[in-house]
Amino acid sequence: MWKSYNTVLATMTEVILFTQETCGACATQREKNEGIEDAYPDVEFWEVDIQTDLETAEEYGVRKTPTTLVYANGTRTDEFIGIVDRDELETAIEHADRQSTGLARRLANIVRG
């Protein structure tokens, strides 16, 4: 289940889907995304309804729905405006997750000395 958006965390992979209630393409995107969070349990998935949270949409520069943003370590790695194919989104998630995992390993090595 996609969570309501809160904040992007700096040491993980996150996917934010910007939608709105009246958007037919958003419903299609939700269908394409169905179950994706189960395939990537270490990735945080968020959904922002721009009609109820316009401030967040403006903060991220989102003007159209659906828009999907992918983050690794708090840095945007991909942006999809409109409907994105599941394969393309999964490729973007895997790329971002590799970046996040690399940072986590580097931080762990620093802490361990």
Q: Is it the case that residue 47 has pLDDT exceeding 60?
A: yes
Task: Judge whether 3 and 44 are in contact, CB under 8 Å.
Answer: yes
Q: Is it the case that residue 46 has pLDDT exceeding 80?
A: yes
State what percent of residues in the chain have pLDDT above 70: 79
pLDDT band at 51 (very low <50, low <70, confident <90, very high): very high
pLDDT of residue 100: 75
Residues 81-99 pLDDT 10s = 999 999 999 999 999 988 8
The whole-model pTM stands at: 0.82
List all residues 6 or more positions away from 33 whose beta carbon is below 8 Å from its beta carbon: 2, 17, 45, 86, 89
Question: What fold, for 3-112?
Answer: Glutaredoxin (3.40.30)
